[in-house]
Each structure stands twice: as structure tokens, then as C-alpha cells.
Amino acid sequence: MHIQTHGYGPNDLVLIHGWAMHGGVFAPLLPYLQHDFHLHLVDLPGHGHSRESTVPLTLDACVDAIAAHVPDTAIWCGWSLGGLVALHAAARGVPMQALAMLCATPCFVHRDDWPHGMSPTVFADFAHGLHYDWQGTLDRFLALEAFGSEHAKEELRSLRDALFARGKPALSVLADGLDILQNTDLRPALPSLQTHSTWIAGRRDRLVNPQAMQAAAEMSPHAHFINIAQAGHAPFLTHAAEVAHGIKQLLEAAP
């Protein structure tokens, strides 16, 4: 699995991207972090430079592959789908300094006891769309990611530019990624989470309800919740300084 390194700071930070993307999507964030961190930018299996990776796109396999290549003292930061990977690592007790959840929750889909999740029919529609118009389905997903942001047009343009910058993702892993988003529920792990965590939401996010992130933070010991007022689902594109500040706060909070 491809993991690009960048920066020359004394601390280590792992950045894990969301569905259909790759580590290059974090480019606007790097200038704000590279002086404080040695960055490890992950391309998940089937995505970007990991398109030919033999690692399956499952939470356990991704955690194992990342943990084998990053220091035990790193902060793990996951955006959207990547947040589930990072949270699963923390729940498994993978050594890390701290956890940053970026527009991600332990349970993405609405359930009877989780009212702030997305409707299951939305994920079902995306899964169905992959079979007859996968590129159109990706574009609709990007539009939903950007919708609501103060800078929606600019955010959508950045997401579209990044989408195929490292080649097209493998169609099979797109379906695998949606399956993870639709069926994963890591809420039971939160109360016993020993890792210090920061949950960074975009108040205008239409994919991940900030209330779900706040609820998850309240279920977790040693957790801090940040809500960026004018941001959507990809705040590192439009509010990179605020996201970087939230991540850096973990250096002070974590033991």
C-alpha cells in the first residue's frame, strides 16, 4: 500500500482519505502542518498509487497495513471513510499518540438509536449507480460533499480536480468502500477508547451531521469537539488553517 511522506516536523501524523479519493486530496492542508509534522499520506487499497495493491479494502486489513509502516507515536487523522479506519485502529489498541476524526462518525447510517446518520437509501442509490454510471455516481457524491459549504463551487472544483489526479479508483473497491460506510458501527468502542481524540466537523456538512460527531465525542473519554462554522464535508480544502489548528491541539492534549 502506498504511503507518501512529506514535511520535516518532529511529530508524526497519518492522513487517511475518504471514499474514492487518495492522499493527494490533502494538499491544501500540508503547508499548515509540514513544519510541525512528518506526514504520512495514505492511499487506501484500490485508490491512487495503491490501485494495484493486494491489500483488501477492509478495516482490519487497512489498519494492519498502515500500522506496519508508521511510528507508534503518530497521530492518526481520518477523513470520512478514512475516519472509520483511524477509529478502528484506536479501538483495536493500535499504538498512536492521538486520534483526529475529520467529518467522520463511528456510524454513518441512520439507525433507530442513531437519528443523525444518513438515510440507508442514499447509500443504496450510490451502490446501484456504480453499476450503470460509476463516473456520474462519483460526481454526484462529490457534489453532495461540497453542498452547503461557504465555498461550495471552489470545493467541488478542487474535489473534481483531485478525483482522478492519481488515476481512476478500482470499481470493486468503490463498492467495498460504500459497504464499509453503510454497515460499520463502531459506537460500542467509544466509551472504552483510551486515545485522546478531536472530532472536527463542518457545520454545513450534508454527508456527516455535526450533531452525530458531537454525540460521538460525548461518548468518548478524552475527546474534544470542533465545529467549523462555514465548512462543508471537506473543510481542509476551504478552512485548512482551522483544521490544522484543531489537529495541532492534540499535541498539547495527548500524553
- Active site (catalytic) residues: 80, 205, 233
**CA dihedral sign, ordered 29, 32, 34, 39:** negative
Residue reference for cell 459506537? 187
**CA dihedral sign, ordered 14, 27, 202, 241:** positive
User: CA 71 to CA 217: how far, in whole Å?
Assistant: 25
User: CA 165 to CA 159: how far, in whole Å?
Assistant: 10
Would residue 70 be called left, alpha or beta, if left means φ above 0 and alpha means ψ between -120 and 50 degrees? beta
User: CA 44 to CA 59: how far, in whole Å?
Assistant: 10
How much helix, strand and coil, in percent to the nearest 5, is found in the chain?
A: 45, 15, 35
Give how far Cα 235 sits from Cα of 11, 184, 213, Å.
Answer: 22, 23, 14
**In terms of residues, how long is the chain?**
255
CA atoms within 13 A on the CB side of 95: 7
Cα angle value 85/16/81 (rounded, 5°): 50
